[in-house]
Amino acid sequence: MTRAISLHDVSKTYARGVRVVDRLSLDIAPGEFLVLLGPSGCGKSTVLRMIAGLEEITDGELLLDGAHANDLLPAERRMAMVFQNFALYPNMTTRGNIGFPLRVEDPQADHTARVDATARMLGIEDLLDRLPAQLSGGERQRVAMGRAISRRPTAFLMDEPLSNLDAKLRNHLRAEITRLTRELGVTTVYVTHDQSEAMSLGDRVAVLRGGVLQQVDTPRAVYALPRNVFVAAFIGTPRINLLRGLVRAPLDGAMTISLGKQYLRLPEPLCLDHQLLRVQQGREVIVGLRSEAVRIAKPSSARPGEVLLTGLVEHVEFQGHEVLVHFNTGSRPALVPDLEAPRPATRPVGRRRRDGTVLDRLRHRAGALRAGPVVVMDEPPEPGPPVAAPDGRLPGDLIVRTTPDIDLRHGMQVPLLVDLAHLFVFDQHGDRICPAPARLPDLEE
């Protein structure tokens, strides 16, 4: 396979030994649209700037078209960058801005045809004589794109180019970016903290946490087969339900995963994935259930592979085309550091203080961020009843997606059928153990 951009064990260490990118390896194919996704501060911009040549690579190697490129000047890389704040030259018209890189390259030539073609591609022919101040935010971003593509760069590097725009415009430009990059066939690295943007744009999505690559896969695969709890929780809305479970595998009975007051009974004979859980006997695990893996239905209507839970309706979130029902099942949610707590009211205050600030900073300073847990498992069970949210609602531990025709109200006790074919189990470190990591389903392309 040819690779347009390759990173081999690339690290970035700032002064005083703070390592913000840690041995990142990534191969990006020619024409591929790769999204770098992760929470704020995880090192996305740093990676992009190292590819562009704006930031020195501390360790490791960057290859462009197969050739060592660590020391190439930014101009020699012929890449185009688009930033969030779409910096345009304020005293130049649209025509001037789009044509600027062409004039720098060849001041003598007539670039009118290329500028016109670029403007046509972006639907901004009518704006060619306006100054940036006379353009709306979306129009300015189009001009910035125009300036980036006019020179036909070897790659586009885009750093959250849409995050300053309103939702409608963002969606519109998203579609436009997809169309443009496909049309031009130019390799693109696109940085965002917005998972839905990543999923809709990327051929593949690379998920970063604390400077460490967690997974790189197609949008389908990161959703369906997240490598660990962090990826599972970062991708998908509503966020995947993460419950703390305990595996019980008695010699003479069915294997179960206890979820506090209730349990999931795994059907016999155990499927291959569930057999793997035997070694977790007596250990705490994290059960992951996406909101569509559970349905509200009578126990008598259970299909093969579905098991019963009971949920108390805490809160019903009407969304028009669907409804999100928050249930209390008596289980305890697992917490994922680096992401805000899934249910703020259930997050133990003491834990947050210890983990969120001092400890995190110490770890960071020690350059040991990568060693931080993907999931917090070691605090004792919450004593007493769950704490009410500021608005008086009790927090649920399980969110289920359903159709709007089911009439559910606070306080109702409802049967829930859990589809075990869509059950995720993660180990104490947050790594996925079920479905088995080694099993390559047909989803992975």
Chain residues that interact with ligand ADP, rule: CB under 6 A: 14, 18, 20, 38, 40-46
**How far is Cα 134 from Cα 131, in angstroms, rounded to an integer?**
5
Give the shortest CB-367-to-ligand ADP separation in angstroms. 12
Q: What does the chain come to in residues? A: 445
Residue 129 CA to residue 94 CA, distance in Å, equals 6
User: Which residue, 18 or 72, has its beta carbon nearer to ligand ADP?
Assistant: 18
Residue 20 interacts, among Mg ion, ligand ADP, none and using kind-specific CB cut-offs from 5 to 8 Å, with: ligand ADP
Q: Which residue's CB is nearer to ligand ADP, number 46 or number 93? A: 46
**Which amino acid belongs to residue 139?**
E
Contact status, residue 33 vs residue 180, Cβ threshold 8 Å: no
Return the one option of ligand ADP, Mg ion, none that residue 42 interacts with (CB less than 5 to 8 A, by type): ligand ADP
State which residue, 36 or 233, has the beta carbon closest to ligand ADP.
36
Q: Are 415 and 296 in contact (CB under 8 A)?
A: yes
Smallest distance, ligand ADP to C-beta of residue 153, A:
21
For residues 230 and 374, the answer to whether their CB atoms sit within 8 Å is yes
Task: Pick between residue 41 and residue 330 the one whose CB is nearest to Mg ion.
Answer: 41
CB of 83 to ligand ADP, least distance (A): 11
Strand order in the sheet with 187-192: 79-83, 155-159, 187-192, 33-37, 204-209, 212-217
Contact of residue 89 among Mg ion, ligand ADP, none (CB under 5-8 Å per partner type): none
- By beta-carbon proximity to ligand ADP, the closer residue of 2 and 40 is 40
- Position closest to Mg ion via CB: 45
CB of 155 to ligand ADP, least distance (A): 18
Q: Applying CB under 5 A, does 45 fall inside the site for Mg ion?
A: yes
CB nearer ligand ADP, residue 14 or residue 89: 14
Q: Where are the alpha helices (DSSP H) in 61-111?
A: 74-77, 94-105
- 242 binding partner (options ligand ADP, Mg ion, none; Cβ < 5 to 8 Å by kind): none
Nearest distance from C-beta of residue 40 to ligand ADP, angstroms: 4
**For 429-432, which contacts have Cβ atoms below 8 Å and span 24 or more sequence positions?**
429/228, 429/373, 429/374, 429/375, 430/228, 430/229, 430/230, 430/286, 430/336, 430/373, 430/374, 430/375, 431/227, 431/228, 431/229, 431/374, 432/225, 432/226, 432/227, 432/228, 432/229, 432/232
Candidate segments 41-49, 139-147, 348-356, 391-399, binder of Mg ion by CB under 5 A: 41-49
The binder of 300, among Mg ion, ligand ADP, none, by C-beta within 5 to 8 A per type, is none
CB of 432 closer than 8 Å to CB of 438: no
**How near is the Cβ of 11 to Mg ion at its closest, in Å?**
18
Choose the one of ligand ADP, Mg ion, none that binds residue 41, judging by a C-beta under 5 to 8 angstroms depending on kind. Answer: ligand ADP
Task: Produce one character per residue of 231-261: b if its CB has 16 or more CB atoms within 10 Å, e if not.
Answer: bbbbbbebbbbbbbbbbbbeeeeebbbbbbe
List the beta bridge partners of residue 311.
Answer: 414
Give the C-alpha distances (Å, rounded to integers) separating 194 from 37, 162, 170, 304. 7, 10, 11, 36
Looking at the Cβ atoms of 156 and 327, the one nearer to Mg ion is 156
Please report how close the Cβ of residue 47 comes to ligand ADP at its closest, in angstroms. Answer: 7
CB 159 to ligand ADP: min, Å: 7
Angstrom distance (rounded) from CA 214 to CA 228:
8
Print the binding letters for residues 346-385 with Mg ion: x by CB under 5 A, - otherwise: ----------------------------------------
- Using CB distances below 5 to 8 A depending on partner kind, what does residue 14 bind out of ligand ADP, Mg ion, none? ligand ADP
Output the smallest distance, CB 19 to ligand ADP, in A.
9
CA angle 83, 1, 445 (to 5 degrees): 80
**Residue 243: which H helix or E strand, with range?**
strand 241-248
Q: Which residues of 330-339 are buried (b: 16+ CB within 10 A; e: fewer)?
A: bbbbbbbbbe
Nearer to Mg ion, 7 or 341 (CB): 7
Residues 426 to 445 in contact with Mg ion, rule: CB under 5 A:
none
Binding site for Mg ion (CB under 5 A): 45
